[in-house]
Amino acid sequence: MAVTPVQPQPVLSPLTRYAIFLTLVLTPGREQDVRDALGDISGTVRAVGFRAQEGGLSCVTGLGAEFWDRAFTAPRPAGLHPFVPLDGPVHSAPSTPGDLFFHIRAQRMDLCFELALRLTQSLEGLARVVDEVHGFRYGETRDLLGFVDGTENPAGVIASQAALTGPEDRFPGSSIVIVQRYDHDLAAWNELSVEQQEAAFGRHKLSDIEFPDEDKAPDSHLALNVIEEPDGTERKILRDNMPFGSVGERTFGTYFIGYAADVDTTEQMLRNMFLGNGDVTHDRILDFSTARTGALFFVPSQDALDDPDLLDAPLPDADGSGAARPVAGAPAQISDALTLQQPRPAAAPAAADADADDADGDDAAQADPAASGTAADSSLGIGGLRGRPQH
């Protein structure tokens, strides 16, 4: 008896010019209503995106730990818990409320806006927005600190392995996403010389070439966020960070968003940044970038989002043993890793790879899917951890 593969949400969709990040909290007592509404989300995405398929509209939906506890009877998925606040010797990362999260992406802001509007209208009285950030790609894929954003995001099969759980997982095709909104002190940052800014990153500003390891300052962003295990292997996460800003309010920042199959990878990066490593007390970038929010969400497969009952009763395999279904596009099943990077039909056009390793996703790899994945590391890229997860 054939087993139908699991379809992930469009976590691996192409990077886009624009995004809207929405964090919502639920109205007490309306958890079941919100659970029922989850199945309507993909239809709303298709309805908005079908009229402008070239816009590449997609949406990833995440569920918070407290929402899960109130709306589902099954135990939480592995890795789902409230965001762990970090109180370092110099800087802190707060934990802020969040029951539901929408990561809306498109090549046009009007599509992002319409989908955000329709989703929030459908949840009127059930949930309210507590954080809303409108992101945009800036210049030649640089962040507002002036550095190229997203050098080495993983691509293809490596991206799916980094961001999505495998067929052996209780919830195959799922992910854990951590989001943070960072505000930049551009006035203080711009008082630094270019050489001082480069030292803070561990990378040349103009060329985007990474410093040799021996030349990196111990508190540089790359020194703390690219960590090699003795065997030289590397843990990765998938990012789609975006700049945001308001000229009138003089607010400028980076929205960090990192997807991972193993959330400990992302959390270790953040611990290094805020708690330090060895004699280093913190990431130098934090002297100019302040974390204002912090939340963690479970991203179920598209199948489970469309039918939330699957989260309470994962489908058994053919022999009734309860084994997880295979993930569509898992390396053992297909050779074309790009299959996983396509949103559901009618929601967006065909997808492409974005290549990177230790920073947020970049637009260069997005604009040219055939390019060799040598994007750029970046501000608050929260770079790739080298070393397989240790359990």
| Chain Cα centroid distance, residue 19 | 12
Are the beta carbons of 105 and 57 closer than 8 angstroms?
yes
Instruction: For residues 176 and 32, give the distance between their C-alpha atoms in angstroms, rounded to a whole number.
Output: 22
| Chain Cα centroid distance, residue 283 | 20
Taking each helix axis as running N to C, give the angle between helix 41-49 and helix 109-122, from 0 to 180 degrees, rounded to the nearest 10: 150
For 376, phi then psi, to 5°, come to -150, 145
Based on the number of CB atoms within 10 Å of its own CB, is 364 exposed (0-12), middle (13-18) or buried (19 or more)?
Answer: buried
- The residue among 130, 164, 147 whose CA lies nearest residue 294 is 130
Cβ within 8 Å of residue 136, ≥6 positions away: 17, 18, 19, 109, 242, 243, 244
Catalytic residue from among 149, 208, 262, 303: 149
Token pair 């969040």 is found at: 98
Going through 12-170 in order, the beta strands assigned E by DSSP cover: 18-26, 58-63, 86-87, 92-93, 100-106, 127-136
In the residue annotation, 33 being an active-site residue is answered as no
Are the beta carbons of 75 and 269 closer than 8 angstroms?
no
Please count the residues of the chain: 391
Q: Residue by residue, what is the 3-state secondary structure of 241-303?
A: CEEEEECCCCEEEEEEEEEECCHHHHHHHHHHHHHCECCECCCHHHHCEEECCCEEEEECCHH
Where in the sequence numbering do the catalytic residues fall?
A: 149
